[in-house]
Amino acid sequence: MSQIWQMTASEIASAVRLKKLSATEVTTAHFERLDAVNPKINAVVQDCRQDALQAARQVDETVARGEDPGALCGVPVTIKVNVDQEGYATTNGLRLLENQVAQHDSPVVSNIRKAGGVIVGRTNTPAFSLRWFTKNSLHGQTLNPRNKGITPGGSSGGAAAAVASGICAVAHGTDIAGSIRFPAYACGLHGLRPSLGRVPAYNASAAERYIGAQLMATSGPITRSISDIAISLTAMAAPDPRDPWYMPAPLSQQEFPKRAALVVAPDGMPVADDVRAALADAADKLRAAGWSVDEIDCPPMRPAADINACLWMAETQFGAKDLIRQEADPDAVFVFEQMMKTVGDIGLVDVMTALQARAGLVREWAVFLKDCPLVICPVSGELPFDQQLDVQSEDAFAKVFEAQLTQRALPVIGVPSLSVATGQSRGRPVGVQLIAPSYREDILLAAGFDLEAAGEPIQVAEPNWD
């Protein structure tokens, strides 16, 4: 018999709703799992035990009254430490923000609570949420529970490690350049970056973000099953008037042609043979499920990735440059310096030109996806990287940066994308990325279900090293 912490979110919600398990039992089991594995992997860096047990009791009381607590009925969830949760510090991995305690929940946290989710802890991120690796001078380094020698991804590395190790069934993550999709990939999980405005966002503890982050940053779920992605999105996407970018688009829309483009190496990016094999296998599985899949070119990604770097670094130079120096996190400083070498100083003309070019790219992708509503492409050009590879040398950083082309490009275009785990290669997780038109996460879920059904269920990792 499987342990409670091995159950998916959908299984937990159903069991609690039917009174086969209590939310209190579920929460207690997940804290026992946290106590067993978190000291090894350092995924959860703020413990929400007392609040979680109180929330679980409230779910049980709601069920006892014959009412439905919501889509995440009793499901243990973690929140990334760069998002406001009342009573906890929004550190973003910084010593400078160690005491910045939120007075209000962000919309995504509020929505998770309203859907019956039980927040069990807050997960680690690199300093400034700036890397595809997870280590900082405040909370330390997070290890990948499937293989401690490789990155758990970043910046939502703690989130993915928590789900992979059974600390929670659903993890909240944020994504401005792959920070949901790559950790899911690295930890052998599924991760959804929703469309711009699909999940409401706002941190009252901080100043309003600049235009780059407003256009590119999103929150979304990391899970062990596609059905869990679906119910998590339903919960997270509830309306909230605090986000002016929020779009109340229906989660399920009209029928669509089951037509997909297989794009193995967008814009000529280097792609490892293991990744190519995973893409070919995913295409075959979709064909077997009734999809028409052709290997064709998609609209450009490299110009979109360049725009991402421009807007990201303009925001960093203008709003965070002094903070980076004050924090003096060695890895963040190195990455910032490499990014500066890549894009140079960004001025007003650069930002205006980038925004102008973005409109054309968004249009080109919208036209393409109208006729071909699914794209299959790499999550990364490489298998998950060795721990700390990006700060080993300038050449290593450049290799990592190039491998993440699709991670950097898609946030500029604003379309939803789903990282789907498909197995392992040479002892490392591997998967594929799916892209759909704006606000058509339902297409991603349909394809994700087909891939999942043709593969093996994702198992909880056991970090059993000494």
Task: Count CA within 13 A, CB hemisphere, residue 119.
Answer: 26
Measured CA to CA, the distance from residue 46 to residue 86 in angstroms comes to 13
Question: Measured between alpha carbons, how far is residue 42 from residues 5, 37, 254, 282, 466 in Å?
Answer: 18, 8, 43, 33, 15
DSSP string covering 393-461: -HHHHHHHHHHTHHHHHHHHHT--EEEEEEEEETTEEEEEEEE-STT-HHHHHHHHHHHHHTSPPPPPP
Cα dihedral 117→186→337→174 (10° resolution): -20
How many Å apart are CA 170 and CA 233, to the nearest integer? 11
Cα dihedral across residues 148, 154, 160, 162: positive or negative:
positive
DSSP-assigned letters across all residues of 145-188: TT-TTB---SSSHHHHHHHHTTS-SEEEEEESSSTTHHHHHHTT
Contact indicator for 219, 245 with CB cutoff of 8 Å: no
- Find, among 293, 267, 256, 202, the residue nearest to 439 by Cα: 256
Q: Which residues are catalytic?
A: 80, 155, 179
What's the full length of the chain, in residues?
A: 466
Give every CB contact of residue 273 below 8 A, 6+ residues apart in sequence: none
